[in-house]
Amino acid sequence: MGALFLGFVLSVFSLFLLLINSILFVSKVKKINNSTYSYVTTYLVILFIVELFCNTIGYLYPGQNFYLSHFYFNAQFILLSIVFYRLFKNQKLKKLVILNYVIVTLIILGMYIYNNQLFWQFNLFEIAMTSVLLIIYGLIHLSNTMGTNKKYFYLSVGMILYLLCSSLIFLFGNYELVFIEDPYIDIWIFNTLFYIVYQVFIFVEWNYINKNGLDD
């Protein structure tokens, strides 16, 4: 029971940090007036809403919130794909981001049409492909920003660290494998800890933008 309580407390704390970051980003939307910044802000707000529902349903009905992962991963995929599309200057990279999004999304939709029961489970393809592509985009962006300005550098670092951890945990694929009972280990705690780290990097990003500004 102690481990379950600890996991719940950490999850609520991570949600609180996400709320704070969402409020901070929203508070500067009009002042900064930058399209990429607006997409990052939208990403944070939507993820907060999804996480709020996920935590609430998970607390009231343990193990019954798996379907929310689809909204989480797909919202994250489309919004961060747009962010990296805008950050990339190379036209081939921009076209690749669009192509990847279209192909992966069509495959995912096809999977749900073919097997609608998949909606109530973790979709391993969805988790793996959306996460891997975003990690690749993040690494490309870090490479592009070396020796120049650090625009969305901290966001990218935090995202890469979190998605590496998160995708491995989600790829366990079901509730029974995530909760090991002998000895008891709540693997989700590691996911939450990395999510907290991610939120810290997002705050550092906001602080950097607040001090240095942005240009489109």
Three-state DSSP state, 180 = strand
Write out the DSSP string of 114-167: H-GGGGGS--HHHHHHHHHHHHHHHHHHHHHHTTS--TTHHHHHHHHHHHHHHH
Query: To 10 degrees, what angle do helices 68-87 and 35-60 make?
Result: 170
**Low-confidence residues of the chain: pLDDT under 50:** 1, 173-185
| pLDDT score for 84 | 97
Query: Quick one: which of 124, 35, 125, 52 has its CA closest to 87?
Result: 35
| pLDDT score for 186 | 55
Query: Quick one: which of 84, 63, 88, 81 has its CA closest to 188?
Result: 63
Three-state DSSP state, 62 = coil
| pLDDT score for 187 | 65
Phi, psi (deg, nearest 5) at residue 88 = -70, 135
Mean pLDDT (the chain) is 85
**Distance in angstroms (rounded) separating the CA atoms of residues 117 and 91:** 39
Q: Quick check: pTM over 0.85?
A: yes
| pLDDT score for 179 | 43
